[in-house]
C-alpha cells in the first residue's frame, strides 16, 4: 500500500496547475446516461473516483473513450473523454460497485428518467457521516416514482415516466440537487426545486444539461426550475476548475510560506475560504487565469471558521484549514455544521504535536511553535491532505499512510508540490 513521505521545512515557490473538479466531474459523467448520443467532457481529472465511476457506467452499457494521453511524466494534463450510452444494457447498479463510492448512487436519477426503472444499491463511501439517501428518494417520489427498499437496494419505478412537480428540500443537499435536476430534465412538465444547493458544481451540471438540450434555469440560486423535454442530445462540455484543490494548495502555501500561482482557476469559486485565508495574513490576489498566494514571513494569525453550504466556508476545506491553524499565533475555533463525524483528523494532527480540543462540533485549536514529524494515518480524503499540509512544516519526517484516500480526489499531488520545492515523495511497498 502506498505512503507519502514528507520532509518539512521547504517553502513553496512556482506554479501549480489546478485540475478539473472531481465534484463536478462525477455528476457530469452520470449525465451521460440521459442520452443515446455522445457526451464529451474536457478537463476530466484522472482520479480513483473517476475511474471507479467509469466502471459503474460501463456496467450500464456506456462506451468510454479517452482522447489523448499524458505524454510527459511529472506534469498533469487534463483529459478529454467521450461517453456514449447508446443503449442501456442494465438498469441495476450492484453493491460491489456502488459500495466503493457514494456518488455512484446518483445513477438512480438518469436511469429512472430515461428507462423508467432503476435498481441501485444503497451507497458506501468514506466514513465522515451517515449522509442518508432519504432526500434523493423523497424528491424522486415527488416526481411520481415508486421506490421501495429491499435487501439493501433502492428499487425505483416510473413506468409512465416522471411528472414535473414542486419539491422543497428540508435541508440543502448537493448530491440530491444533482439527482433531482437530472431526473427532471426528462420529466413531463415543469419541476421547481426549492432550497436547492447553490454550489458551482450544480451550476456546471446545469450548463452541461442545457448544452444537451435541457431547459434548466436558476442554477446557482436556491430555486431551480426545469422544463422537461422529450429527449436530450450529446454535447461538448469543459469541467470547471476544482475549488477544493485550489483552496488546498492555497492553504499549503500559507502554511509553508512562499509564492505560488495557482493556474486555471478562479477566486469566485471559493471567496469565503479565500477571505478566511487573507485574515490569517496571507496575500491572495487574482492574476490572469488564476490566483497568486504569498506568505513571506510573519505570524499566521488565528481565524475562526464555520462550515456552511455554498457560498459559505466549504466543509471540504475544514481539515486543511485546521492544519493551518495548528501553527497560528493564538487560538482559533473551527465549527463543522455539515457532517457529524468530520474531525477524525484531529487525533492524527495531535500525533504531530498539534493542540486541539473538541466540544461537540467545534474544535478549539491552540497554535504551537513547531510540529514534529511522525507516522500518521489518513482516515478520509480531506483529512489525508490536511496531514500532508501539516507535514510541510513539521520538523523531520512525516509519513502519511493509506494515501489511497488522496488518490480519490487529488491528481498527482506529490508531483505538483515537488515542482514547487516541497520534499514530498510517494513510497510504494
Q: Are 24 and 30 in contact (CB under 8 A)?
A: no
The reply, when asked if residue 426 is annotated as ligand binding, is no
Q: Are 64 and 40 in contact (CB under 8 A)?
A: no
pLDDT of residue 405: 83
pLDDT in tens, 259-293: 999 999 999 999 999 999 999 999 999 999 999 99
pLDDT of residue 77: 61
The reply, when asked if residue 381 is annotated as ligand binding, is no
The reply, when asked if residue 270 is annotated as ligand binding, is no
Cell numbers representing residue 153 in the block: 437496494
pLDDT of residue 381: 73
Cell numbers representing residue 173 in the block: 443537499
Query: Whole-model pTM above 0.85?
Result: yes
Alpha carbon distance 422, 393 (integer Å): 10
* DSSP assignment letter at 13: E
Q: Can you give the residue ranges of every domain in the chain?
A: 3-19+241-427, 22-238
Cell numbers representing residue 279 in the block: 485574515
First-to-final CA distance of the chain: 6
pLDDT in tens, 366-396: 999 999 999 999 888 778 899 999 999 999 9
The reply, when asked if residue 23 is annotated as ligand binding, is yes
Cell numbers representing residue 20 in the block: 478539473
The reply, when asked if residue 133 is annotated as ligand binding, is yes
pLDDT of residue 340: 72
pLDDT of residue 99: 85
* CATH H superfamily, domain 22-238: Enolpyruvate transferase domain (3.65.10.10)
pLDDT of residue 379: 81
Alpha helices in 31-167 (DSSP H): 48-60, 95-98, 108-115, 134-142
Q: Are 291 and 284 in contact (CB under 8 A)?
A: yes
Indicate the angle between helix axes 134-142 and 108-115, nearest 10 degrees: 20
Third-level CATH fold of 3-19+241-427: UDP-n-acetylglucosamine1-carboxyvinyl-transferase; Chain (3.65.10)
420 is a catalytic site residue = no
Distances (CA, A) of 110 to 53, 114, 184, 284: 14, 6, 9, 40
Residues 6 or more apart whose CB falls under 8 angstroms from that of 235 comprise 39, 40, 208, 211, 212, 213
Using omega within 30 degrees of 0 as the cis cutoff, is the peptide bond preceding 231 cis? no
Cell numbers representing residue 1 in the block: 500500500
Helix (H), strand (E) counts: the chain: 14, 24
Of 197, 241, 189, 244, which is closest to residue 221 (Cα–Cα)? 197
Ranges in the chain, pLDDT < 70:
68-77, 124-131
The reply, when asked if residue 22 is annotated as ligand binding, is yes
Q: Catalytic one among 25, 101, 126, 389?
A: 126
Amino acid at each position: 500500500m502506498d505512503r507519502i513521505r514528507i520532509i518539512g521545512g521547504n517553502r513553496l515557490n512556482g506554479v501549480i496547475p489546478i485540475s478539473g473538479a472531481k465534484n463536478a466531474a462525477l455528476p457530469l459523467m452520470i449525465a451521460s446516461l440521459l442520452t443515446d448520443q455522445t457526451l464529451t467532457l474536457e478537463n476530466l481529472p484522472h482520479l480513483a473516483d473517476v475511474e471507479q465511476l467509469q466502471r459503474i457506467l460501463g456496467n450500464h452499457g456506456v462506451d468510454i473513450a479517452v482522447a489523448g494521453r499524458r505524454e510527459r511524466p511529472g506534469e498533469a494534463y487534463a483529459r478529454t473523454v467521450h461517453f456514449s450510452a447508446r443503449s442501456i444494457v442494465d438498469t441495476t447498479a450492484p453493491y460491489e460497485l456502488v459500495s466503493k463510492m457514494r456518488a455512484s448512487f446518483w445513477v438512480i436519477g438518469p436511469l429512472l428518467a430515461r428507462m423508467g426503472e432503476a435498481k441501485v444499491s444503497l451507497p458506501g463511501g468514506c466514513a465522515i457521516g451517515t449522509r442518508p439517501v432519504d432526500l434523493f428518494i423523497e424528491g424522486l417520489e415527488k416526481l411520481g416514482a415508486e421506490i421501495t427498499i429491499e435487501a439493501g437496494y433502492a428499487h425505483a419505478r416510473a413506468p409512465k415516466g416522471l411528472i414535473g412537480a414542486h419539491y422543497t428540500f428540508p435541508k440543502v443537499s448537493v448530491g440530491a440537487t444533482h439527482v433531482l435536476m437530472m431526473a427532471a430534465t426528462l420529466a413531463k412538465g415543469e419541476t421547481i426545486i426549492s432550497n436547492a444547493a447553490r454550489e458551482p458544481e450544480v451550476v456546471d451540471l446545469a450548463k452541461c444539461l442545457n448544452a444537451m438540450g435541457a431547459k434548466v434555469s436558476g442554477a446557482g440560486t436556491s430555486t431551480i426550475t426545469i422544463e422537461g423535454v422529450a429527449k436530450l442530445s450529446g454535447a461538448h462540455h469543459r469541467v470547471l476548475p476544482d475549488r477544493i484543490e485550489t483552496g488546498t494548495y492555497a492553504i499549503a502555501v500559507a502554511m509553508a510560506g512562499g509564492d505560488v500561482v495557482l493556474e486555471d482557476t478562479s477566486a469566485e469559486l471559493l471567496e469565503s475560504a479565500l477571505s478566511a485565508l487573507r485574515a490569517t495574513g496571507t496575500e491572495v490576489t487574482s492574476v490572469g487565469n488564476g490566483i497568486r498566494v504569498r506568505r513571506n514571513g510573519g505570524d499566521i494569525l488565528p481565524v475562526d471558521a464555520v462550515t456552511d453550504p455554498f457560498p459559505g466556508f466549504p466543509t471540504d476545506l475544514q481539515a486543511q484549514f485546521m492544519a493551518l491553524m495548528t501553527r497560528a499565533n493564538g487560538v482559533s475555533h473551527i465549527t463543522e455544521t455539515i457532517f457529524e463525524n468530520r474531525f477524525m483528523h484531529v487525533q492524527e494532527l495531535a500525533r504531530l504535536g498539534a493542540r486541539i480540543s473538541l466540544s461537540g462540533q467545534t474544535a478549539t485549536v491552540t497554535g504551537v511553535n513547531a510540529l514534529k514529524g511522525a507516522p500518521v494515518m489518513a482516515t478520509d480524503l480531506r483529512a489525508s491532505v490536511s496531514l500532508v499540509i501539516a507535514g510541510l512544516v513539521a520538523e523531520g519526517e512525516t509519513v502519511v499512510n493509506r494515501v489511497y484516500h488522496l488518490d480519490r480526489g487529488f491528481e498527482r499531488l506529490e508531483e505538483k508540490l515537488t515542482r514547487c520545492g516541497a520534499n514530498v515523495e510517494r513510497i510504494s511497498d
